[in-house]
Amino acid sequence: MKIGHHNTDEKVFIIAELSANHNGSLDTALRTIDAMKASGADAIKLQTYTPDTITLNCDSEMFTISQGTLWDKRKFHDLYAEAMTPWEWHSILFDHAKSLGMEAFSSPFDNSAVDFLSELDVPAYKIASFEITDIPLIEYTAAKGKPIIISTGIATLSDIEEAMSACRRVGNDQITLLKCTSAYPAALEEMNLLTISDLKTRFGVNVGLSDHTMSLAAPVAAVALGARMIEKHFILDRGMGGADSAFSLEPQEFKMMVDAVRDCEKLLGKVTYELSPKSLKSREFSRSLFISEDVKAGEIVTERNVRSVRPGFGLAPKYLPKILGKKFTSNYPKGTPLSYDQIIPTEPPCE
């Protein structure tokens, strides 16, 4: 799949999530993008909403968070007013990212955000975990015809099936499903990364990981399981505080993660049974048949005067049973690699 100029089939797509980590400062947001680029991110992702497009300004207890999260006792409306990225910043941030060679896109949270991002010609759209049950929003977004990335943090299997059907109903099969655990931060034992390969097989689409752990191992394990996209929250300094600071990586941590993912890609390589030039050269260290003591012409081949040893310049050890009891053609010193022309055949040799 291509997202902008990036082909996820050729290289894992690494997304740095800005989210609320600008802490209300455009300068901080711009400096964060610089740090994202320096840390190896391929893309920056924003979140596009206003408090009024994502929730209601309501005093009901239902609109106050109370689930044992980082944000407990806060009203949804107040939290989103603090965390939102002003819409007038989007083009500035996107242009800055693109000037650095990065892709830039966002998560829309209602149709007006989809339209706004469409005007900015984003290369993809991301559906956040908590929006996966909003089938009309998914249909509307997918209908724009751009790649659509869907997080599955709160999704049941049937939720994922409905989201997939929504995309395909409007003719969009450019889908990436991100395994996600919607806990902030997420515990390692709750990640269940084996689901990544199942998502790929079950739905026949690209897969990835939206990671809320503080572990650098999770993205590497995800890539080993087939993930072609990694999304991770990024912050200049967790000491800045803010709504998402507790589960965001600082620049040096993000860089370590990127380096580990790139190493993992090299390690995975491709399915092949061909030997590299170095491995082929290393076959010289394998075992083979050598004459292990001085022998004379006509002397019988035994397990004492021919042995399987390193290096690998003689006949393969599998031929030893075939030559035992036969005779040498000439005199040979100890340390001579054995070959068939040194043995008097009693029958044609089996190669």
Please provide the CATH number assigned to the domain covering 277-344.
Answer: 3.90.1210.10
Two tokens, residue 135: 């089938």
Spell 74-97 as b/e; 16+ CB within 10 A means b: bbbbbbbeebbbebeebeebbebb
> What is the helix (H) or strand (E) element at residue 66, kind and residue range?
none
195-203 and 157-169 helices, crossing angle to 10°: 40
Predicted model pTM: 0.88
> What is the helix (H) or strand (E) element at residue 105, kind and residue range?
strand 103-108
Which residues of the chain does CATH 3.90.1210.10 include? 277-344
C-alpha angle 243/131/248, rounded to 5°? 30
Radius of gyration of the chain (CA): 30
Per-residue pLDDT of the chain (351 residues; tens, 9 = 90+): 999 999 999 999 999 999 999 999 999 999 999 999 999 999 999 999 999 999 999 988 899 887 666 667 789 999 999 999 999 999 999 999 999 999 999 999 999 999 999 999 999 999 999 999 999 999 999 999 999 999 999 999 999 999 999 999 999 999 999 999 998 899 999 999 999 999 999 999 999 999 999 999 999 999 999 999 999 999 999 999 888 888 999 999 999 999 999 999 999 999 999 999 999 999 999 999 999 999 999 999 999 999 999 999 999 999 999 999 999 999 999 999 999 999 998 655 555
User: Contact, 149 vs 126, CB < 8 A?
Assistant: yes
**DSSP state, residue 148:** E
Two tokens, residue 262: 């790139």
Distance CA 188, CA 218 (A): 8
Closest CA to 49 of 20, 15, 29, 16: 20
Which residues of the chain does CATH 3.20.20.70 include? 2-49+84-268
**Domain at 2-49+84-268, CATH class:** alpha beta
